[in-house]
Amino acid sequence: MYREQNSDGGQRLQLTVGEKNLGSDVPLVMGILNITTDSFYDGGKYRNKKEILAQVEKILVEGASIIDIGAVSTRPGAPEITEKEEWQRLEPTLKMIVTQFPDTIISVDTYRSSVAEKAVHEGAHLINDISGGTFDKRMPATISQLKIPFVMMHIQGTPQNMQLNPRYENVVEEVKAFFIGQLNIFSSFGMTENIILDPGFGFGKTVEHNYQLLRSLRSIKELGYPVMAGLSRKSMINKVLEIKPQDALNGTTALNVIALLNGADILRVHDVKEAMEAIKLVEKYQTSVNRNLNS
């Protein structure tokens, strides 16, 4: 994935995944499809073929460009499951979606290189790794060999302990330093493009850390790669508003707008329709601002 200038001088996103190409002058939406039983918001919600396919269709009709399938819960304190169990959950759903929606760009949310490899062979197009390639040291070489886009997320600790006591001297600079280090590792395997950076909101961060990162997305973009914001219904909303994830749609939209204004290229969300509306309104606002500046 990379940026190029469009005819109006703005930034254009271009995603190349095998024979599929996705270009956009505006930010994209990645719709979340959790097939876990214990995810923090929608765990156990999609339990059979009918429910899964209905949700996929809804995500696509509402405008998502990418569907992100997760078979392992990574909420704080979530128990780790085996690689075998992860693949047993993922394989039938992945095959079903590839068959029913053959033109859909599919991301798989996994930190295991063997699962990533199997998923791509079954039709997945990109890998979304919460560890940025650190939990499985074979991931950089695997992604390079597969020649697919990779979402490199930052996490401090593991899902089992990440929220026990997150600490940073400077969260923005430390997250950037993590990305620089991982980008160098991936580069050593020939992977210098098709990387998307995700600061990992809620993954080993306090509420204050999360808002510092949100305010500083453009600093992360200075590394030269697209940035994804995954803010949907997270505790940085719920703790401030004193609500539950089920009531956090309005707060999610508010933070998505801030992320877009600060340069986010992709929004990863549970609620696609509202994210698409946020993108449309922010694009209208920014077009108006640019016209006034140029007049």
The string of pLDDT tens digits covering residues 152-198 is: 999 999 998 999 999 999 999 999 999 999 999 999 999 999 999 99
| This model's pTM is above 0.85 | yes
Can you tell me the distance from the alpha carbon of 230 to that of 244, in angstroms, rounded to the nearest whole number? 17
Q: What is the pLDDT of residues 94-145, one digit of tens each?
A: 999 999 999 999 999 999 999 999 999 999 999 999 999 999 999 999 999 9
> Comparing 7-21, 25-39, 154-168, which segment has the lowest mean pLDDT?
7-21
pLDDT in the model for residue 84: 95
Terminal CA-to-CA distance of the chain, rounded, Å?
33
Q: Report pLDDT digits (tens) over 42-73.
A: 545 656 888 899 999 999 999 999 999 999 98
Q: What is the model's pLDDT at position 295? A: 65
The alpha carbons of the chain give a radius of gyration, in whole angstroms, of 18
Find tokens 């190349």 and name the residue. 16
Angstrom distances, CA of residue 259 to CA of 52, 198, 278: 29, 12, 10
Residue 16 pLDDT: 72
Catalytic residues: 234, 268
pLDDT category at 80 given cuts 50, 70, 90 is confident
Domain positions in the chain are: 2-6+28-294
What is the CB neighbour count within 10 angstroms for residue 173? 12
pLDDT digits (tens, 9 = 90+) for 190-246: 999 999 999 999 999 999 999 999 999 999 999 999 999 999 999 999 999 999 999
* Contact by Cβ (8 Å): 52, 93: yes
Q: What mean pLDDT is reported for the chain?
A: 90
- pLDDT band at 281; cut points 50, 70, 90: very high
| pLDDT tens digits, one per residue of 249-273 | 999 999 999 999 999 999 999 999 9
Q: Superfamily assignment of 2-6+28-294 in CATH? A: Dihydropteroate synthase-like (3.20.20.20)
CA atoms within 13 A on the CB side of 205: 25
Distance CA 40, CA 140 (A): 28
pLDDT confidence tier of residue 8, bands split at 50, 70 and 90: very low
**Cβ proximity of 209 and 256 under 8 Å:** no
Q: Say if residue 226 is exposed, middle or buried (CB neighbours under 10 Å; 0-12, 13-18, 19+).
A: buried
